[in-house]
Amino acid sequence: MQQFVNYIFQWVLHDWDDDKCVKILKNCRKAIPPRDGGGKVIIVDIVVGAGQSDLKNNEALFDLHVMFVNGIERDEQEWKKIFFEAGCRDYKITPVLGVRSTLEVYP
């Protein structure tokens, strides 16, 4: 029987610089099995350039406000660099609403 071990970060890595994100993901990678063993890290955060660009959507406007006031906005290439520096081998980005995306990161 396959055991799934996942970590979920919602709006957590958004508040940390790249070096700290790499450190967090390295620790997660150590604690979970490989992808074929069911391990992955799920991140809900901003991916600049992914998803809907309809700024009339109130939620998207709120997300943009939060992005500029509180956090670090990253595009896919910046996230990819963090993932690979942490030793992760693959990832998948799925836009969900406004500027939010779900990022699945595999060890």
Q: What is the pLDDT of residues 22-77, one digit of tens each?
A: 999 999 888 888 888 888 889 988 787 776 555 445 555 555 665 566 667 788 89
Nearest to 9 by CA among 107, 103, 87: 103
| Architecture of the domain made up of 6-106 | 3-Layer(aba) Sandwich (3.40)
Residues with a catalytic annotation lie at 14
pTM for this prediction: 0.77
Q: How many CA atoms lie within 13 A of 106 on its CB side?
A: 11
Name the pairing type of β-strands 90-97 and 40-46: unpaired
- The model's pLDDT over 69-92, given as tens digits with 9 standing for 90+, comes to 666 778 889 999 999 999 998 999
Taking the C-alpha atoms of residue 56 and residue 106, their distance in angstroms, rounded to an integer, is 34
Taking the C-alpha atoms of residue 65 and residue 42, their distance in angstroms, rounded to an integer, is 23
